[in-house]
Chain A
Amino acid sequence: SQQGEEDPQALSIQEGENATMNCSYKTSINNLQWYRQNSGRGLVHLILIRSNEREKHSGRLRVTLDTSKKSSSLLITASRAADTASYFCATDEIGNAGNMLTFGGGTRLMVKP
């Protein structure tokens, strides 16, 4: 089953604008990761934030994590047409052995040139 919901389910913006996607989850976690998927292909890892971190940056990406609200957000600044993809959050739940990740439903982002 899925860990939680992503909001919005779909987002359409103009190139140059910022895109914000939110992820909510249900259980306690060790870390949360964000992945990108282009057109039903494989997922590409974007960023990992640990449960004791509140914010992390990578290039044009900024991720926040609020464990008290069980939520995370992904901000893509100065978006480009190449950012058009689906974005998923994935959680490593406390108590899980191994590398099992639980994914959210994803946000479909369209960036118009």
Chain B
Amino acid sequence: KAGVTQTPRYLIKTRGQQVTLSCSPISGHRSVSWYQQTPGQGLQFLFEYFSETQRNKGNFPGRFSGRQFSNSRSEMNVSTLELGDSALYLCASVTGTSGANEQFFGPGTRLTVL
């Protein structure tokens, strides 16, 4: 089985712009979660999508949004970028519906906001 893929791998944007990141989960996995990783805040949960519905949302401003398509691929969008949004954005796909399952992470998208 192919692993979790994320595109693009690297992205450079300027303040005020918006960005869309994509995540393709492992075939058959219906849950996709997104995490932000920064040196200062560590790994923080953004949101989770399951069967095209947002099931959980972390403590992030409304500038962060996401969606999931019928093929389970997910996108996250960050509008009005700020310098503090520079981070590694990771997505994870899971086969099950609870937290009792191994999560498979993609390689991440490194976003730099100038």
Residues of A at the B interface (CB closer than 8 Å) are 1-2, 30-31, 33, 35, 40-45, 48, 50, 88, 90, 92-93, 96-106
Contact = CB atoms under 8 A, between A and B. Distances in A.
Nearest to B39: A40
Given A42-B108, A99-B48, A48 B43 contact: no
B42 A105 contact: yes
Interface size class of B (residues with CB under 8 A): 20 to 34
A33 B100 CA distance: 9
Chain B interface SS verdict (over half): strand
A100 B100 contact: no
Contact of A98 (B42, B48, B102, B105): B48
A99 B104 contact: no
B43 A99 contact: no
Contacts of B88: 40
Q: Which 4 A-B pairs have the closest CB atoms?
A: A92-B99, A103-B43, A42-B105, A43-B105
Nearest to B101: A99
B100 A48 contact: yes
A31 B106 contact: no
A43 B90 contact: yes
Contact of A42 (B45, B50, B107): B107
Contacts of A93: 99
B8 to A, nearest CB: 15
Contacts of B41: 2
Given A41-B107, A43-B90, A97-B55, A102 B45 contact: yes
